Structure 1
Amino acid sequence: MRVFTTGASGWIGSHTVDELLAAGHQVLGLARSDASAAALEAKGAEVLRGDLDDLDSLREGAESTEGTIHLANKHDFTDQAASNAAERAAVQTIADALAGTDRPFLLAGGVAGLVSGRPVTEADRNPFTGPDSPRGGAENLALEYADRGVRVLVARFAPTVHGTGDHGFVSTLVAAARAAGVARYAGDGTNRWAAVHVSDAARLVRLAVEGAPGGTVLHAVAEEGVPTREIATAVGAGTGLPTASTSPDELAAAMGWIGAFFAMDLAASSVRTRELLGWNPTGPTLAEDLAAGGYFA
């Protein structure tokens, strides 16, 4: 299969490209810089120059391949409106290009804010709809195309997609702890974060595109929930800093958007995903990755 991939040089995307190529697929990767293009070409992938705002390139990539994986996102937490608008426009463009083709279209999502008081499951409907909602309501927008000849697949990723080279949320927590001189967590630290190793996440994406039925919601979750106090304690141990409890409001005030996020309970189940895909996570746990020291080098 020749697969168009946005975010192909990003954290999850780069591992997904490796996974696809190793399985014998061809990859057309979207690249906005010379460095990203060179990295993709060095792996043996084709390159399509463009970015998330270049809707013509997105349309071309989707129309010229046998499947699309959309992993790019601006992730600008200082301008959520712009990120949400860009995501919705990108998903709309790709879905329109694929309508009536029966080709797979996998887009990335998350588990944050979907339910409260229990782990999120694949059966839980995303409550966010409309252009002004988180991610521009892209998950529900895309699923509308399942009845319009698109094999839509939603991969909701754990908040912690960890591994060597991660520059995402855990790295941000480490940086925040160093800046403050303390590794903080909210309340008693029993609120949890789901986690998955990046290699397992990439394998899930590949398996889904190869065979998951249209309209399927999948959870890239290996650990249902790691208590945030345990995460903060590991960050403290790795940085040589103390840990401390604070209120959720104080955590957000002290750490900004990552503090507000770290105060949330983001547990999620992947039972249905494992049964459907035969997916069995084998990568290191979050605790093992933190103990290995790569986040503190």
Structure 2
Amino acid sequence: MRVFITGASGWIGSAVVPELIGAGHQVVGLARSDASAAALTEAGAEVRRGTLDDLDTLRSAAAESDGVIHLAFKHDIAFSGGFADAADADRHAIDTFGEALAGSDRPFLIAAGTLGLAPGQVVTEQDGQASDPVGGHPADGPAKRRANAHATVALADRGVRSSVVRLPPTVHGDGDQGFLATVVAIARERGVSGYIGDGTNRWPAVHRSDAAHLFRLALEKAPAGSTLHAVAEEGVPIRTVAEVIGRHLGLPVAPVSPDDAAGHFSWLADFLGLDSPASSAYTRELLAWQPTQPGLLDDLGKGHYFATPSA
């Protein structure tokens, strides 16, 4: 297939690109900068210059492709407080791809998340598929992004082989700059490896290479309207993660009260205290996906998360 990918040079995309090329697919990646374009060229992909706001570019690239994987999200806007605006831009891109692919039965995949869908319960692929967004006010960014996933699944009714691949909050591996790297940085800055409350809350996890493999399988054979979970580990207790971090950094490990969590963990506090395990039993059976990479604690044990930051 000729596959167009947004976010192709990002954390997930830069693993999906070689996964697809290695399986014989031709990849065209969206690049908004010279650095991203160079990285894609080095990886063996074609480059289409543009941004998520260039809807004509997205439309023509999709029309010229056998499938689309949409991984880009305006995280710079989201982290500066404009999550709702970032979700709106995401929706415009999804609608544009839907229009270009309607009636073609070509695959269209987007990335979503498992975190917070049903706190305290093991989330399955069938959870959160109601017609209305799960939780939150309709104007909230997270609620809008869940609505975007619903809109993607609904494209199956318009002749698009659409799939939503939900990712856990910890997509780990060497080079990760996401949630887990942030937890490590906070521990180093505060001089203590903390966890909220008793730390028994759980986060699911997956190695990014295993996640990339699932994106390829979904592209090739997921049924229209599928919701899939890229979850290798159902739930790793956050206290256990904090203990491994403390051991590697030589820091004490201590609880942080919920009242003090925002002061200690900043924006991460809203997420780090969630108990949000997730299952991938349906995904594994449907696509014969079997994770093979190291688990979260083993990956932490390799030490790359604890390399001294460059000056």
TM-score (norm 1): 0.96
- Give 3-state SS (helix, strand or coil) of 1:188's partner: coil
Greater displacement, 107-116 / 277-286: 107-116
Helix, strand or coil at the partner of 1:256? helix
What is the aligned counterpart of 2:207 among 179, 197, 212? 197
Deviations 1:90-127 (A, max 9, x none): 11111122111111000000012211221100011246
Aligned counterparts of 1:201 and 1:38: Cα–Cα separation in 2: 24
> How far did 1:276 drift?
0.5
Residue 56 to residue 9, structure 1, CA distance change in 2 (3 Å): same
State the shift of 1:166 in Å.
0.8
- CA shift, 1:249, in A, is 3.5
Number of equivalenced pairs: 297
**Distance in structure 2 (CA, Å) of the matches to 1:128 and 1:247:** 31
Paired letter, 2:6: T
Partner of residue 30, structure 2:
30
CA distance in 2: counterparts of 1:141 and 1:221, whole angstroms: 22
- Using the aligned pairs only, state the percent identity: 57
CA deviation map 1:65-88 (0-9, x unaligned): 000001111222332122211211
Q: State the shift of 1:248 in Å.
A: 2.6
Q: Give the whole-Å Cα distance in 2 for the aligned partners of 1:245 and 1:164.
A: 27
The one of 157, 167, 173 equivalent to 1:163 is 173
Alignment of 1:1-297 (within 5 A): 1-75=1-75, 76-79=78-81, 80-126=83-129, 128=133, 132-134=140-142, 135-136=144-145, 137-297=147-307
* Equivalent residues of 1:248, 1:260 under 8 A apart: no
Taking the aligned partners of 1:4 and 1:52, their CA distance within structure 2 comes to 13
Give the 4+ runs in structure 1 shifted more than 6 A. none
Distance 2:265 2:57 in 1: 37
Which range moves more in the overlay, 60-69 or 48-57?
48-57
> Conserved in 1, the CA contact under 8 Å of 2:120 and 2:277?
no
Check whether the contact 2:119–2:274 (CA below 8 A) recurs between aligned residues.
Answer: no
2:202–2:274: 8 Å Cα contact kept in structure 1? yes
Please say which of residues 43-52 and 193-202 is displaced more in the overlay. 43-52
> What secondary structure sits across from 2:227 in the alignment?
strand
Contact 1:84/1:132 (<8 A) preserved: no
Which blocks of at least 5 consecutive residues in structure 2 are unaligned?
Answer: none
Cα distance change on mapping 1:282 and 1:30 into 2, 3 Å = same
- Structure 1 residues 228-237 or 218-227, which shifts more? 228-237
The amino acid that maps onto 1:42 is E
Contact in 1 for aligned 2:68/2:108 (Cα 8 Å): yes
